Structure 1
Amino acid sequence: MVNVDALHYRTGEPVRIRLEGSIIAGIEPLDGPLALPPDELLELPVAAPGLVDLQINGFGGHDFNHPVLTAEAVKAAVRALWAEGVTTCYPTVITGAPYTIHGAMRAIARACEEDAAAASTIGGIHLEGPFLSPEDGPRGAHSLEHIRPPDAALFDQWQEASGGRISIVTMSPEWEGSAKFIRHCVRQGVTVSIGHTSASTAQISEAAAAGARLSTHLGNGAHATLPRHPNYLWAQLAEEELWCTLIADGFHLPDEVLKVAMKVKGSRALLISDAVALAGLPPGSYDTPVGGRVVLTPEGRLHLAGQPGLLAGSAQMLLRHIARLSAAGLADLPDAWDMASVHPAGFMALPEAAGLAAGAPADIALLRRGSAGPALAALCKAGEWVYRRG
């Protein structure tokens, strides 16, 4: 039995969290005979559920889309993510040649097969592409060469290579046969998300009726200019069955867009990092396999070299996104935290959706409040302390 004394992230009240193995055995108010002296209470960290990132392409120089991804690189990425408060992640494999995607799936599967820490942290694999829009704008940085219509047989090959770990697939329902493909994935328990799309309102409605449940980084991966109405952003916002993920790093979406999406979707609006491998690296110029030469600014903005107006992906982790929402007054800190922890866990039907509660997995982030937002002090994954600051 291990006791953790902390301030509850939602209430601010001092609590004692009792851990037994990989489970939270109980949470009790820290008062009465358990009470600490007032000066010690002031020093308590804040306890919050571990973060759940449904879309991450890499971190700390480890790229899940490396042409020759290895299981060792996957293991290293998982451990690096612990320092960012992430206790569950969905490595994201994007559009590429079929054999490259197959290799990435196999490498992630091997990492899970060989390493218990990787297996417990990787909730599943997010396949983003190649069944996306071929149009400039919606396609984003995805290679036109490898964009293709939905192909159930090809998807099944990748799913087999992954050991059944593909949990989310982002696709565009503008292709003929999309509804049939969506139903094929849903029958396997795979979450289908709409993204990088130029689909019509009717096609989006048909996709939702077939079982699509999510919009991937809504507002990004889109044309620079859209018809006033109808357009695929309004259609996805209005579709009751669709949750949405948002990139709230301060660079991808204006605050007013975040505000509208969060008001419309409520607790169905989720945060993702969509971070690329350069996240966690020092500012500077880098050569990448997808964007070519890119620049990571001291502010954390990643753009194409020579074209500062064009983003080259996200380089900020969920802690930054949470702090941005809170600082902008778009959500208080506990609600912003839930958008990146218990809500995505609930969407994916994970036990971590219980948050800080008796019987829930012991996935706990201990935080210190700072002027720039919450800073991670320590991280507990399945009852094991996997990170301590310093």
Structure 2
Amino acid sequence: MPDSKFFDLQINGYFGVDFNQDDISADDLHNACAALERDNVGGVLATIITDDIARMAARLSRFVQLRIADPLISRMIAGFHIEGPFISTKVGYVGAHPVAHAKEATWDEMTLLLDAADGLARIVTLAPEQDPEHDVTRRLAKQGIVVSAGHTNASLDQLDASIDAGLSMFTHLGNGCPRLMDRHDNIIQRALSRADQLYFGFIADGAHVPFFALKNYLQITGLDRAFIVSDAISAAGCGPGLYPLGDRVVQVGEDGVPRAEDDSHLIGSGTTMRRMAENLERELGLTPVEIDRLTRMNPRRIMGAAIPAPTRYVAKNGVHPATAP
């Protein structure tokens, strides 16, 4: 592998520390960042997932405060990936997100989250069908925030309209959807049919996407439009056991995979980026240069499309540059 550090665009926790707890401590977050650094990660987007809007905003504000006070946290957490709450409420598509808080997008609620993130929102994952007029997508894209489809069963027309409004990415393709879907007309095939217009995130742990399927997907998207995320929860780097994620406790088995109690869906990943890079080499036969592209270069290139804080984001109570459609 080249002498380079991974960059993870989607991480929910690490080394026993849950990023979606209400009052994460400075010590816990520092320790999680130190563990990431030891595991050759050069930066991450801390991912805040679907919950009550006020609680999501409070968690974002807490991270902002902790970044200011700690140089290591500031260096490791480059910004935020806000995943939800504007996602599908349908079984399977909602995934591990609490369905009670999944909802249709409004700019007022999106603004509450952006204000709390204090200019550090880099990616917002939403379902195009939950932004039916694509107003939120359009306004986010105008601010330079990457809009990504995820936990969605958008039709091809809805996906195309969202792309026209500024959608540019798809979150952890192959996940956030039911196990049983139409053989051909399904969200995975719809998304792949737009491979020339979207970037695609993949979780390379072998559980979220079988390695043979991941190889097929990468052949369709091409390496320039793909990237690897860990989607790690607090179990990453720890092994089997019980681990927190928001208000729930997740069981991680001997295989290191966090699953729902009824095994109906996965709940994030327990795999580190280092292990995923090893999987790409061992299971897919990718070269060190190709792995570096998927785990460092492409994520940083996508980050380059997101605004540096806070040049284009107006402070709280100000006028947002994208308030006009």
Q: State the partner residue of 2:201.
A: 245
Question: Is 1:210 equivalent to 2:165 in the alignment?
Answer: yes
Contact 1:285–1:295 (CA<8 Å) still a contact in 2?
Answer: yes
Letter in 1 for 2:104: P
Structure index of larger Rg: 1
Q: State the partner residue of 1:272.
A: 229
Contact 1:201–1:230 (CA<8 Å) still a contact in 2?
Answer: no
Question: Is 1:91 equivalent to 2:63 in the alignment?
Answer: no
Question: Which of 278, 302, 312 in structure 2 is aligned with 1:323?
Answer: 278
Counterparts of 1:350 and 1:74, CA distance in 2: 27
Letter in 1 for 2:207: F
Q: 1:51/1:176 Cα in 2 relative to 1: closer, same or farther (>3 Å)?
A: closer
Contact 1:195–1:217 (CA<8 Å) still a contact in 2?
Answer: yes
Letter in 2 for 1:241: Q
Counterparts of 2:70 and 2:227, CA distance in 1: 29
Q: State the partner residue of 1:34.
A: none
Counterparts of 1:287 and 1:193, CA distance in 2: 26
Q: State the partner residue of 2:12.
A: 57
Question: Is 1:334 equivalent to 2:284 in the alignment?
Answer: no
Superposed CA offset, 1:64-106 (max 9, x none): 1013334443333222211111111000000011121011111
Q: 1:147/1:269 Cα in 2 relative to 1: closer, same or farther (>3 Å)?
A: same
Counterparts of 2:112 and 2:243, CA distance in 1: 33
- Once the two structures are superposed, the pairs formed by residues 305-316 of structure 1 within 5 Å of their partners are 305=261, 307=262, 310-316=265-271
Q: Structure 2: which 5+ runs fail to align? A: 307-325
Question: Is 1:190 equivalent to 2:108 in the alignment?
Answer: no
Question: Is 1:346 equivalent to 2:301 in the alignment?
Answer: yes
Q: 1:176/1:89 Cα in 2 relative to 1: closer, same or farther (>3 Å)?
A: closer
SS in 2 for 1:153: helix
SS in 2 for 1:142: coil
SS in 1 for 2:35: helix
Q: Which has the higher contact order (CA 8 A, sep 6+)?
A: 2
Counterparts of 2:271 and 2:162, CA distance in 1: 31
SS in 1 for 2:217: helix
Question: Which of 295, 318, 337 in structure 1 is aligned with 2:252?
Answer: 295
Query: What value does the CA root-mean-square deviation take over the aligned residues?
Result: 2.0
Question: Is 1:282 equivalent to 2:244 in the alignment?
Answer: no
Contact 2:24–2:62 (CA<8 Å) still a contact in 1?
Answer: yes
Question: Is 1:263 equivalent to 2:219 in the alignment?
Answer: yes
Counterparts of 1:161 and 1:287, CA distance in 2: 23
SS in 2 for 1:106: helix
Counterparts of 2:191 and 2:175, CA distance in 1: 13
Contact 1:97–1:146 (CA<8 Å) still a contact in 2?
Answer: yes
Counterparts of 1:176 and 1:162, CA distance in 2: 21
Counterparts of 2:88 and 2:162, CA distance in 1: 15
Contact 1:294–1:312 (CA<8 Å) still a contact in 2?
Answer: no
Contact 1:71–1:108 (CA<8 Å) still a contact in 2?
Answer: no
Counterparts of 1:83 and 1:336, CA distance in 2: 19
Q: 1:293/1:117 Cα in 2 relative to 1: closer, same or farther (>3 Å)?
A: closer
Letter in 1 for 2:226: A
SS in 1 for 2:130: coil
Shift of 1:279: 1.1
Letter in 1 for 2:17: H
Q: 1:53/1:286 Cα in 2 relative to 1: closer, same or farther (>3 Å)?
A: closer
Letter in 1 for 2:230: S
Contact 2:18–2:246 (CA<8 Å) still a contact in 1?
Answer: no
Counterparts of 1:204 and 1:256, CA distance in 2: 26
Letter in 1 for 2:180: T
Counterparts of 1:51 and 1:76, CA distance in 2: 18
Contact 1:58–1:278 (CA<8 Å) still a contact in 2?
Answer: yes
SS in 2 for 1:276: coil
Shift of 1:308: 5.2
Contact 1:54–1:272 (CA<8 Å) still a contact in 2?
Answer: yes
Question: Which of 175, 185, 189 in structure 2 is aligned with 1:220?
Answer: 175
Counterparts of 2:61 and 2:239, CA distance in 1: 30
SS in 2 for 1:55: strand
SS in 1 for 2:134: helix
Q: Percent identity?
A: 30
Q: State the partner residue of 1:356.
A: none
Counterparts of 1:65 and 1:285, CA distance in 2: 16
Counterparts of 2:264 and 2:117, CA distance in 1: 37
Superposed CA offset, 1:283-337 (max 9, x none): 234465455451331x3222234x4574332000111111111111342233123
Query: Structure 1-normalised TM-score?
Result: 0.74
Which structure's residues are more often helix, by fraction? Answer: 2
Contact 1:285–1:293 (CA<8 Å) still a contact in 2?
Answer: yes
Q: 1:311/1:290 Cα in 2 relative to 1: closer, same or farther (>3 Å)?
A: farther
Letter in 1 for 2:113: W
Q: 1:313/1:255 Cα in 2 relative to 1: closer, same or farther (>3 Å)?
A: same
Q: State the partner residue of 1:359.
A: none
Shift of 1:232: 1.6
